[in-house]
């Protein structure tokens, strides 16, 4: 039991370190952020809002869990969801870009994936996650194949989105 507590504390501290680095960098550079999350279910938003003063850089977020919200609110073309799937590089990229434009921020993050245990297909397995970080000048886009429980996949998605964001800020 003590080992599990130590592992949890280490994971929490590691995640908190990157969160604090991102927050410090956004503040120092006077940059703003908006988020469009799907499979992470708002966990990235939650993580960032645990930082006091996060309202100075985090302007807002959307948990676009359904395709309807992706198409109506985030303006992802239906044809992209039909052709590539809601869990795709193309959709993650548009989620990040469109949330940035919608909220008029310097950076936008889009996360889409399959946290499981259901939702997998022949071509897209549980743990498949696409993350995009968008700015006016750059876009980072990555594909991940995470292993673990639903909670673990969500945590890894949020943590990797923070790492990617830190690279651009």
Residue the block writes with tokens 């890894």: 156
Q: Kindly report, residue by residue over 76-104, the tens digit of the pLDDT.
A: 999 999 999 999 999 999 999 999 999 99
Calculate helix-pair angle for 150-168, 2-28, nearest 10 degrees.
30
Contact 153, 115 (CB under 8 A): yes
Residue 3: predicted pLDDT: 38
pLDDT reported for residue 16: 84
Burial category of 142 from C-beta neighbours within 10 Å (exposed 0-12, middle 13-18, buried 19 and up):
middle
Q: Which two tokens stand for residue 133?
A: 């970080």
Predicted local confidence at residue 6, as pLDDT = 39
Q: What is the pLDDT of residues 108-165, one digit of tens each?
A: 999 999 999 999 899 999 999 999 999 999 999 999 999 999 999 999 999 999 999 9
- Structural domain boundaries in the chain: 2-168
From the number of C-beta atoms within 10 Å of its C-beta (0-12, 13-18, 19+), residue 17 rates as: exposed
DSSP string, 85-151: -SSSHHHHHHHHHHHHHHHT-SEEEEEEE--SSS---SSS-TTEEEEEEE-SS-EEEEEEE--S-HH
Q: Give which of 152, 117, 146, 151 is closest to 129, Cα–Cα.
A: 146
Residue 13 confidence (pLDDT) = 52
Q: Which fold has domain 2-168?
A: Maf protein (3.90.950)
SS3 68: helix
Nearest-Å Rg of the Cα atoms of the chain is: 15
Tens digits of residue pLDDT in 6-41: 334 434 455 789 999 999 999 999 999 999 999 999
């Amino acid at each position: 039991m003590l080992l599990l507590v130590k592992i949890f504390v280490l994971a929490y501290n590691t995640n908190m370190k990157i969160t604090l680095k991102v927050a410090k960098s956004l503040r120092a550079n006077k940059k703003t952020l908006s988020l469009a999350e799907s499979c992470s279910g708002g966990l990235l938003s939650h993580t960032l809002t645990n930082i006091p003063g996060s309202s100075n850089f985090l302007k807002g977020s959307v948990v676009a869990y359904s395709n309807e919200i992706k198409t109506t609110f985030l303006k992802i073309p239906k044809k992209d969801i039909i052709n590539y799937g809601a869990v795709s590089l193309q959709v993650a990229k548009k989620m990040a870009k469109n949330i940035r434009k919608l909220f008029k921020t310097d950076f936008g993050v889009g996360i889409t994936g399959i946290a499981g245990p259901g939702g997998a297909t022949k071509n897209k397995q549980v743990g498949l996650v696409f993350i995009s970080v968008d700015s006016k000048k750059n876009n980072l886009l990555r594909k991940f194949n995470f292993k673990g429980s639903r909670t673990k996949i969500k945590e890894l998605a949020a943590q990797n989105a923070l790492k990617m964001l830190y690279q651009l800020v």
